[in-house]
Amino acid sequence: MSRPPTAEPPAAEAPPRRPVLFVNPRSGGGAAGRARLSDHARELGIEAIELDPGQRLDELVADAIDDGADAVGAAGGDGSIATVAAVACARDVPFVCVPAGTRNHFARDLGVDPRDPARALGAFAAGIERRVDVGEVDGRVFLNNVSFGVYGEAVRAAGYRDAKLRTLLQTAEEVLGPGGDAGGLRVVDDLGIEHRGPALLLASNNPYAPRRPGARGVRPALDGGRLGIVVVDSPAPRTPPRARAWTAPALVVDGDREIVHAGLDGESVDLRMPLRIAVRPGALRVRVLAPRSRSVRDAGSPRPARAS
């Protein structure tokens, strides 16, 4: 009696001829150095460029592609990874994510194990190419999320990276307390309700899954073609704050200010209002090792996601 056929793993794509890895040695408290990622990359025939303070990472990536790089990767935190991915997206060049940051949100949602960053280098030569969505706001690409209000103000604080929870609580007290200013934002939700001056507004590249308090937020997919949007209104006296979550392909944000502070993939940025935040379905080519994550789909049209 013959055995039933088994599913064959997808074949790896042809390896790039000139792969380049950009290494941020300061991310994650020096995680890239501890993992010897530059050395491992060079042993695999990957050009490794370590970043010095003050260098423009986006310009370095663009120059490398102009010089013939046909796949680029980033070893660092979410900010460095997003910068390299944005250039790869604009140039339609495959991208490899090597987690070497503190939280590695995008890598985790992509299915890359942050406990073994050196293994992720194998995606250059033996990876499977898939397409995932990116978000865009004010001409800037983001992989995880853009946030306003309490978080958008907190990322500007000098001590944010060393004490995130304490800084968030202090910022919340300043922004939401008497005389505070929650940013003067205005946004309309999927029910047509206008939210003015919310305590928090977050738009993510694909929605996060509902989770237990204190659990790590994850996105079950990176190819749904929709933003995950959460708005938390500033609380009134003796009234719990009202919150609303929904999904949409795009979101318009207006407000009383010309410039608004925001957190973009964990980095502090100033954005000009009004803003249009949108998803670009399948815009980023990523190379990942098999077996691939459920977060990554085969190439083709993005599957529809139901509104929440």
pLDDT at 302: 36
Mean pLDDT of 50-76: 96
Highest mean pLDDT (candidates 130-134, 154-158, 167-171, 181-185): 130-134
Sign of the Cα pseudo-torsion (284, 288, 293, 299, in order): positive
pLDDT at 250: 98
Rounded to an integer, what is the distance from CA 162 to the centroid of its chain? 20
pLDDT at 16: 95
pLDDT at 8: 52
Q: What is the pLDDT of residues 258-276, one digit of tens each?
A: 988 888 988 888 899 999 9
pLDDT at 216: 56
Q: Give percent of the chain above pLDDT 70.
A: 75
Is it the case that residue 97 has pLDDT exceeding 90?
Answer: yes
Q: What is the pLDDT of residues 10-32, one digit of tens each?
A: 566 789 999 999 999 988 889 99
Is it the case that residue 179 has pLDDT exceeding 50?
Answer: no
pLDDT at 198: 86
Is it the case that residue 168 has pLDDT exceeding 80?
Answer: no
pLDDT at 113: 92
pLDDT at 288: 95
Contacts of 300 (CB under 8 A, 6+ apart): none
Q: What is the pLDDT of residues 209-250, one digit of tens each?
A: 876 444 456 899 999 999 999 898 877 666 666 789 999 999
Q: What is the mean pLDDT of the chain?
A: 82
**By mean pLDDT, which of 191-195, 278-282, 302-306 is the weakest?**
302-306
- pTM more than 0.95: no
